């Protein structure tokens, strides 16, 4: 009987230990799955799946990078000379155009003659670039040259300034505008929230009476509990129109609106963490300062603030972390234009908002889907660095507290 119970206790202990590792397991699984879904992107052809770009066989150009392809099809590059070819105007030929050249009868039953006709069109124009489905390529390749388009480039992904995942024939996956947009909105949010939050933290920890604090603290914690979609809704119906009217902007959905809402959302974190660390200042230090004739205010900013500085930094870092990862509120108020941020009063788009807005429309496994998971990895790494540094900073303060 006793032995049975010992075995039972052992089993329970193992189960407890297993559940103790659940959070670690979750983190590893998240990392594994984000990479598993995302990393395939760099093995994919830069041209849309199932399509190829063809040129005249005598054209000296062998390869185009995604950006060149895009500029070419946007008619920003109009001469082959610009991409290393002959001095010849570029003629763009999209697959659909074949149907305006030949009637359905000429293309034969089930479009059996289509590949051959495509070959003829290309052979006739030495300056052509044709964007065709792979399955309609003629078997006889002597009349055309298929361009090597290369795979999606790591450098172009991280350094690219254009995010146009639905552009044809070459989608543009440049994450720079999204990364900068995220940082832009979050940093301004913290710039607004920091003085406010610090002031309230000083008030709560040093000035407020016990009774006031007991009402205020839970109220502020409540602020943290309001769902982000409600903040977004409030931002959309109140803050956005207000910004538009008072600043005379064409649209109110701007980075500034996002920063304001994020500031309010980051306030509780900043206030709570900063206040905790101020209250941890040893009483002896306060009293020593007061005994030397310093006023309360002098004590606050010459003794308490420096003493709790690492706690305050941790508060800021955590606030930034919360702002960077915030999805719904930002999605609803920033307007979501995927451009490099220039001013506070223009629309920007953040990483979380991009994922939330675009993932629903992409087929699983496609390049766009993979690119969104890579964005997830970038976001994950940003917040991981932030929480680790916050941890490191607050550890430093704890150690100081012991001394």
Partner 1 sequence: MNKKTTQKIAFITFRALGLLVVAILLGILGFIIYNGIGVISWEFLTAAPTEGMTAGGIFPAIVGTLCLVVGSMVFAFPLGVMSAVYMNEYAGNGWVVKFIRVMTNNLSGIPSIVFGLFGMALFVNTLKFGDSILAGSLTLGLLILPLIIRTTEEALKAIPDSYRTGSLALGSSKLQTIRRVVLPMAFPNIITGLILSIGRVSGETAPILFTVAAYFLPKLPTGIFDQVMALPYHLYVIVTSGTDIESSRPIAYGTALVLIAIVLIMNLLATSLRKYFGKKVKTG
Residues of span 23-82 touching partner 1 by CB under 8 A: 23-24, 26-27, 29-30, 33-34, 36-37
C-alpha closest to that of 359 among 372, 348, 341: 372
Nearer to partner 1, 51 or 163 (CB): 163
The token pair that represents 37 in the structure block? 């879904």
CB 156 within 8 A of CB 162: no
Q: How is 325-390 classified by DSSP, letter by letter?
A: H--HHHHHHSB---S----TTS-B--HHHHHHHHGGGS-TTSHHHHHHHHHHHHHHHHHHHHHHHH
Site for partner 1, residues 330 to 369, rule: CB under 8 A? 332, 352, 355-356, 359-360, 364
Tell which positions 146-165 bind partner 1, by CB under 8 A: none
Distance CA 94, CA 141 (A): 18
CB of 98 to partner 1, least distance (A): 37
Residue position matching structure tokens 């994950």: 380
Q: How many CB atoms lie within 10 A of CB 386?
A: 18
- Closest approach of Cβ 367 to partner 1, in Å? 16
Q: Which residue has the tokens 């763009």?
A: 92
Q: Applying CB under 8 A, which of residues 99, 241, 391, 399 lies at the interface with partner 1?
A: 391
Q: Which is nearer to partner 1, 53 or 300 (CB)?
A: 300
C-alpha distances (whole Å) from 97 to each of 93, 101, 125, 389 are 7, 7, 14, 57
Based on CB atoms, which residue is closest to partner 1, 146 or 224?
224
Pick 4 or 155: Cβ nearer partner 1: 4
Spatial separation of the C-alpha atoms in residues 126 and 103, rounded to whole Å: 24
Q: Which stretch binds partner 1 (CB under 8 A): 15-23, 115-123, 168-176, 277-285?
A: 15-23
Q: How far is the CB of 158 from partner 1 (least distance, A)?
A: 19
- Which one of 21, 43, 63, 151 is in contact with partner 1 (CB under 8 A)? 21
Query: What would the two tokens of residue 386 be?
Result: 């932030």
Contact set for partner 1, span 262-301 (CB under 8 A):
264, 267, 271, 295-298, 300
Positive or negative: CA dihedral 236, 238, 243, 244: positive
Under rule CB under 8 A, how many of the chain's residues touch partner 1? Answer: 85
Helix (H), strand (E) at residue 106: none
Q: Give the residue with the Cβ less far from partner 1, 26 or 154.
A: 26
The residue among 93 and 275 lying less far from partner 1, judged by its C-beta, is 275
CA within 13 Å, CB half, 257: 35
User: For residue 82, what is the DSSP state?
Assistant: G
Tell me if 106 contacts partner 1 by CB under 8 A.
no
Q: Which of residues 173-212 bind partner 1 (CB under 8 A)?
A: 195-196, 199-200, 202-204, 207-208
Neighbours of 351 (CB within 10 A): 23
- In the complex with partner 1, the residue whose CB is nearer, 113 or 356, is 356
Does residue number 380 form part of the binding site for partner 1 (CB under 8 A)? Answer: yes
Q: Min. distance of Cβ 74 from partner 1 in angstroms?
A: 29
Quick one: tokens of 322?
């919360």
Q: What three-state secondary structure class fits 246?
A: helix
CA 336 to chain centre: 11
- The pattern of x and - marking residues 206 through 245 that bind partner 1 according to CB under 8 A reads -xx-------x-xxxxxx-xxxxxxxxxx-xxx-------
Give the shortest CB-394-to-partner 1 separation in angstroms.
10
């Amino acid at each position: 009987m006793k032995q049975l119970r010992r075995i039972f206790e052992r089993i329970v202990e193992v189960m407890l230990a297993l559940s103790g590792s659940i959070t670690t397991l979750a983190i590893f699984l998240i990392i594994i799955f984000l990479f598993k879904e995302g990393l395939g992107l760099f093995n994919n052809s830069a041209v849309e799946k199932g399509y190829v770009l063809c040129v005249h066989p005598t054209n000296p150009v062998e390869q185009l990078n995604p950006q060149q392809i895009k500029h070419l099809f946007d008619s920003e590059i109009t001469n082959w000379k610009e991409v290393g070819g002959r001095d010849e105007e570029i003629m763009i030929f999209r697959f659909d155009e074949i149907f305006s050249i030949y009637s359905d009868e000429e293309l034969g039953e089930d479009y059996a003659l289509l590949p051959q006709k495509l070959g003829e069109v290309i052979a006739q124009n030495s300056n052509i670039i044709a964007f065709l489905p792979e399955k309609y390529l003629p078997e006889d390749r002597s009349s055309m040259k298929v361009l090597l388009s290369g795979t999606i480039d790591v450098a172009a992904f991280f350094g690219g300034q254009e995010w146009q995942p639905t552009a044809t024939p070459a989608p543009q996956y440049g994450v720079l505008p999204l990364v900068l947009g995220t940082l832009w909105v979050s940093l301004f949010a913290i710039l607004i929230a920091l003085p406010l939050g610090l002031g309230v933290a000083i008030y709560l920890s040093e000035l407020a009476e016990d009774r006031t604090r007991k009402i205020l603290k839970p109220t502020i914690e409540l602020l943290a509990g309001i769902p982000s979609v409600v903040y977004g809704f409030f931002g959309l119906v109140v803050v956005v129109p207000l910004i538009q009217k008072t600043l005379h902007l064409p649209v109110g959905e701007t980075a500034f609106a996002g920063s304001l809402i994020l500031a309010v959302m980051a306030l509780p974190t900043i206030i709570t963490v900063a206040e905790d660390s101020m209250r941890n200042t040893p009483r002896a230090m306060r009293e020593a300062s007061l005994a030397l004739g310093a006023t309360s205010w002098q004590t606050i900013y010459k003794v308490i603030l420096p003493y709790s500085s690492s706690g305050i930094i941790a508060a800021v870092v955590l606030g930034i972390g919360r702002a960077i990862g915030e999805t719904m509120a930002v999605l609803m108020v920033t307007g979501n234009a995927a451009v490099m941020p220039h001013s506070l009063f223009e629309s920007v788009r953040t990483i979380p908002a991009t994922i939330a807005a675009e993932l629903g429309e992409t087929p699983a496994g496609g390049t766009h889907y993979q690119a969104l998971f890579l964005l997830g990895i970038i976001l994950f790494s940003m917040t991981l660095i932030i929480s680790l540094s916050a941890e490191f900073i607050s550890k430093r303060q704890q150690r100081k507290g012991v001394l």
